[in-house]
């Protein structure tokens, strides 16, 4: 049995839209493969130390909660950059995603500093972008998969030229409702607006994250995980994808 160590950032603040369910999915899929997920809450003032965790998770929150944690997260920026450079994986959802960029300007003009881990900036717009969304992703060369989820954000996220999006929008708004891209990916770091939570209906992404975390734990290459009988997860994905396709979109 391998213990996969997860650092859950600000679970008391960034926990909107059942995004805690992502941790539950990672834990169960690890157990099914005879591994264990050890989850540690990392809150205000808590340090991040190199080598302590294989995977970090930052959930979503409203502007008020993001404003509360932004300065503390900025104080952890250098340590987070160090652990990511050392091979740790990271998943950030919505509010957490916005704070991984260089900054987020809220609806009322609040300037929230980001940590610059992802090459992007976010500014709140007048209209919220809400609904089911479907993406096409290629995290591994030549392996295209779809991600289905739910978005609810006022932020317009602009990626820097040359930045790698998480996926191409097939239906929905995505980062800004204009570019046709959603999320951002830099190595083992993934940021996305997909809520719901994300991983129950996209088990392949949960397995990708577990594989990256196991690679960090062992110091080797990401292992090929044994497939699981994901029939219920497949059905959940198809229901969400079907709603997104029915919704349509400009992309």
Q: Which residues pair with 185 in a beta bridge?
A: 190
Name residues whose C-beta falls within 8 Å of residue 78's C-beta, 6 or more positions apart in sequence.
Answer: none
Type and span of the H or E element at 245: helix 231-247
Report the distance separating Cα 240 and Cα 148, nearest Å.
6
Q: Degrees (nearest 5) of the Cα angle 212, 215, 220? A: 145
Report the distance separating Cα 234 and Cα 229, nearest Å.
9
Mark residue 99 as left, alpha or beta (left: phi above 0; alpha: psi -120 to 50; beta: remaining).
Answer: alpha
**End-to-end CA separation in angstroms for the chain:** 44
Task: Name the packing angle between helices 203-218 and 21-31 (round to 10°).
Answer: 70
Report the distance separating Cα 246 and Cα 251, nearest Å.
13
Q: Which of 27, 98, 87, 29 is nearest to 59 (CA)?
A: 98
Residues labelled as active-site residues: 94, 195
CA dihedral 14, 238, 209, 121 (to 10 degrees): -50
Report the distance separating Cα 165 and Cα 163, nearest Å.
6
Using DSSP's 3-state secondary structure scheme, residue 23 falls into: helix
């Amino acid at each position: 049995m391998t213990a996969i160590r997860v650092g859950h950032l600000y679970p008391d603040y960034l926990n909107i839209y059942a995004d805690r369910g992502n941790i539950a999915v990672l834990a169960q899929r690890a157990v099914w493969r005879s591994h264990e997920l050890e989850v540690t809450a990392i809150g205000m003032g808590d340090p991040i130390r190199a080598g302590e965790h294989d995977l970090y998770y930052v959930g979503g929150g409203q502007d008020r909660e993001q404003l509360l944690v932004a300065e503390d997260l900025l104080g952890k920026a250098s340590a987070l950059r160090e652990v990511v450079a050392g091979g740790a994986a990271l998943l950030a959802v919505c509010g957490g995603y916005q704070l991984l960029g260089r900054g987020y300007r809220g609806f009322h003009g609040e300037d929230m500093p980001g940590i610059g881990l992802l090459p992007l900036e976010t500014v709140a717009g007048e209209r919220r972008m809400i609904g089911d969304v479907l993406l096409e992703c290629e995290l591994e060369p030549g392996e295209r998969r779809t991600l289905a989820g739910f978005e609810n954000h006022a932020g317009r996220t602009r990626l820097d030229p040359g930045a790698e999006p998480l996926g191409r929008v097939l239906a929905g708004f995505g980062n800004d409702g204009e570019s046709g891209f959603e999320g951002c990916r830099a190595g083992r770091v993934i940021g996305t607006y997909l809520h719901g939570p994300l991983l129950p209906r996209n088990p392949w992404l949960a397995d990708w994250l577990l594989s990256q975390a196991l690679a960090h734990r062992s110091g080797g290459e990401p292992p090929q995980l044994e497939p699981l009988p994901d029939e219920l997860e497949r059905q959940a994905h198809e229901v969400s994808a079907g709603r997104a396709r029915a919704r349509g979109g400009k992309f």
